[in-house]
Amino acid sequence: KSTLLPPLLIAEGYDKILVTQPRRLPCTLICKRINSTMDDPNDSTGLAGWAISGKEHNVNANILYLTDGLLKERLLFDENIITNQTKLNKSVVFFIDEVHERSVNIDLCLALLARILTLKPELRTKMKIIISSATLDSTVPDLFRQLPNCKFDEFNMPTLMTLYPVTKFKRPNENVLDVVQEIYKKRQRHDQILCFVNSVQDVNNSCKLLSDLSRGAISAYPLIQSQSAVDQQANIEYRSVFFSTTVAETSLTFPCLKYVIDSGMINIPVYDINTETTRLEEVRAAESTINWILTF
């Protein structure tokens, strides 16, 4: 959906496709994937571009991948993102991807798009909205169903791969490193173990502690956003145990992944009015995110 649908929409005649991703890494990876597979001899710059906070590449391309936080800012402050004077052959498509994560930025993007359709109904002919999600809360489509004279279509994509049964085990109040060691002892040779933790610091600390606790018998590898795609893919192809932030939820493909360990907690930035600073606070992950992880 992220790599094939936008080019198909361009081929269908749509003028501009804005595709959001929850994190910066998928923006660049998917863009590179499209430009390498959808080679246009008449366009040396590529079919797709990307934009993240502080960096951008080929932003005037027909397809632009950007973080949902950046789209939120553009919807709030860029009055020219779409106007009555915008000249279009068909329309602009706002493609909100990975909605199951239900982050603050994703919810604000949806709310701001709904507000545009409400306050400026004349723009409805110039914009289309695609909401893509592995699991979808009914409140999301309800936001757009209630808009008058707004056509809303909903469908489920057919399953294109083998679905394996998922067995869930609840292990409250247990140390995640103990669980990893237990699973490692009983796994088969090529089985991979992926463990989600809250922050980059937790990733690095967990990798070191696991090596110390197992006296070097278990080597765990970090998967974080600052790594290059080449390094990440090399580790994924040949390693067995990984600690990751949420970057692994949407950006990476594991050839032999069998065990996923998740605390169900995430860090989110919270603004403190008293100190006028932003700090990270540990909270429970959205239920839709947990449900999606169970579909790995």
Whether residue 25 is predicted with pLDDT greater than 90 in this model: the reply is: no
Tens of pLDDT, residue by residue over 180-235, are 999 999 999 889 999 988 888 889 999 999 999 999 999 999 988 777 767 777 78
Three-state secondary structure readout of the chain: CCCCHHHHHHHCCCCEEEEEECCHHHHHHHHHHHHHHCCCCCCCCCCEEEEECCEEECCCCCEEEEEHHHHHHHHHHCCCCCCCCCCCCCCEEEEECCHHHCCHHHHHHHHHHHHHHHHCHHHHHCEEEEECCCCCCCHHHHHHHCCCCCCCCCCCCCCCCCCCCCCCCCCCCCCHHHHHHHHHHHCCCCCEEEEECCCHHHHHHHHHHHHHHCCCCCCEEEECCCCCHHHHHHHHHHCCEEEECHHHHCCCCCCCEEEEEECCEEEEEEEECCCCEEEEEEEECCHHHHHHHCCC
The CATH code belonging to domain 176-293 is 3.40.50.300
The CATH code belonging to domain 5-145 is 3.40.50.300
Residue range(s) in the chain whose domain bears CATH number 3.40.50.300: 5-145, 176-293
Tens of pLDDT, residue by residue over 249-285, are 556 778 888 998 887 777 777 888 888 888 888 887 7
| Stronger pLDDT, 118 or 267, i.e. the higher one | 118
Q: Which of 22-26, 101-105, 136-140, 288-292 is the least confident region?
A: 288-292
| Stronger pLDDT, 108 or 139, i.e. the higher one | 108
**Residue-level pLDDT at 93:** 94
**Residue-level pLDDT at 267:** 79
- Mean pLDDT (whole number) for 40-65: 83
What confidence tier does 19 reach under pLDDT thresholds 50, 70, 90? Answer: very high
Give me the chain's average pLDDT, please.
84
What confidence tier does 39 reach under pLDDT thresholds 50, 70, 90? Answer: low
